[in-house]
Structure 1
Amino acid sequence: MYKSGLVPPLRLCFFMWLVFTIEFYLSVDLGYLGIYPREITGLVGVVMAPLLHGNFNHLVSNSIPLLVLGGSLFFFFPAIAHRVFLQAYFFTNILVWVFGRPFFHIGASGLIYALASFLVFYGLFKRNFKSVIVSAIVIFLYGGMAYSLLSFDDRISWESHLMGAVVGLVTAMLLRNK
């Protein structure tokens, strides 16, 4: 068990910022390493997409919720946190690869939606004091994320948001007795 719930999300954020810094200083665009649905070469994005960001604002807007939601997961639910985090990371991206529109999907927002969805639904399914309080706090802080599930902006990978929310819900259902 970690002394701080922030350690695993901080590691991921470190790599997100490292990749962004490399892109910036070398003037390269690694967006082609994102998820490209239904193309074998696009499978590399299942691993790489959360590390890639289109600009500084995109990176910051993914880093803060990743630290808050990921930190909450590892701090409050350490026994299941690694499993939840890995399922959220990989299953979300696999579903985007299967169902997404044919363009490069980048960013950690699918993971963020999966974590938020898990934390909310786990509290609703588990119904113990700690889980319900965490669920209520996530709804208070990030409830507005639900609105963007219905926003089909061509510039945003809403598929990542939707698939993340679904993965979080299913993971919460499967682990409700853990």
Structure 2
Amino acid sequence: MPYPSVGPTTSTASTPRTRGDRVKGAAALMAGWVALLWILEAVNSATGSLSTYGLSPRDIGELRDVIPMAFLHHGFDHLASNTVPLLILGFLAALNGLRRFAAVVLTIMVVGGLGVWLTAADHSVTAGASGVVFGLLGYLLVRGFVDRSAVDMVTGLLVLAVYGSALWGVLPTNPAVSWQGHLFGLIGGVMAAFMFRRKPPMNELIG
């Protein structure tokens, strides 16, 4: 009686992730991220201990807050306004791979944060995930054209139809809103689309 072969079935390391796996991974990541933001805001509202991580401009010591400022908000209303677009845009961006997504988000945070640090008004304190939201918006709008992916082009056009009006947020129309964070976040997202473009298949390279 032959023994069943178990070699190829004991490891899935080389098995490509299915669409369902990518959906679950992206959904879990964004749910966890948003939950973390709400926990941090609850802690900060109760203790005020995290307010120091907001970003003040042109102070060398404040450069350490370029990343943390994206995880803090000026109250629950501020956080609530960012929650839904962050969930949706982050989920769509993460579907193409979590490692790529992490690199994209890090680029957006660094470019957006440095832009705020350089250009924000004196004595201001900037915090919030809206720079990341605008960065993801910019990334999704151009990703399909950079990667030459019809599916991602359609996704970008749908995102433009739903969130295109938000692009007015890059203009200095409201002194209480960090248009600098929006603008430089958007620039960071477009940069990330080019920096982390998908490599073409080998047959395209050879052909």
User: Structure 1 length normalisation: TM-score?
Assistant: 0.88
1:165 counterpart SS class? helix
Residue 53 (1) aligns with residue 49 (2): no
Deviates more, 1:86-95 or 1:73-82: 73-82
Could you give the per-residue CA deviations for residues 82-114 of structure 1, whole angstroms, max 9, x where no partner exists?
211221122221222223222111100111110
Q: Tell me what 1:113 maps to.
A: 134
Residue 96 (1) aligns with residue 122 (2): no
How many angstroms does 1:159 deviate by? 0.3
Contact 1:32 1:104 (C-alpha < 8 Å) held by counterparts? no
* Distance in 2, Cα, partners of 1:136 & 1:61: 22
How many angstroms does 1:29 deviate by? 6.4
Residue 21 (1) aligns with residue 42 (2): yes
Residue 152 (1) aligns with residue 173 (2): yes
* AA aligned opposite 2:128: G
Residue 166 (1) aligns with residue 187 (2): yes
Higher helix share: 1
Contact 1:37 1:99 (C-alpha < 8 Å) held by counterparts? yes
* Distance in 2, Cα, partners of 1:71 & 1:34: 26
Contact 2:112 2:131 (C-alpha < 8 Å) held by counterparts? yes
* Distance in 2, Cα, partners of 1:157 & 1:45: 16
RMSD over aligned CA atoms reads 2.0
User: Structure 2 length normalisation: TM-score?
Assistant: 0.77
* Distance in 1, Cα, partners of 2:57 & 2:28: 31
How many angstroms does 1:125 deviate by? 2.6
From 155, 163, 166, the counterpart of 1:142: 163
Q: Which runs of 5+ in 1 are unaligned?
A: none
Identity of aligned residues (%): 26
1:120 counterpart SS class? helix
Count of residues paired in the alignment: 177
Residue 72 (1) aligns with residue 101 (2): no
The structure having more radius of gyration, on CA atoms, is 2
Q: Which runs of 5+ in 2 are unaligned?
A: 1-16, 200-207
Residue 132 (1) aligns with residue 153 (2): yes
* Distance in 2, Cα, partners of 1:134 & 1:7: 20
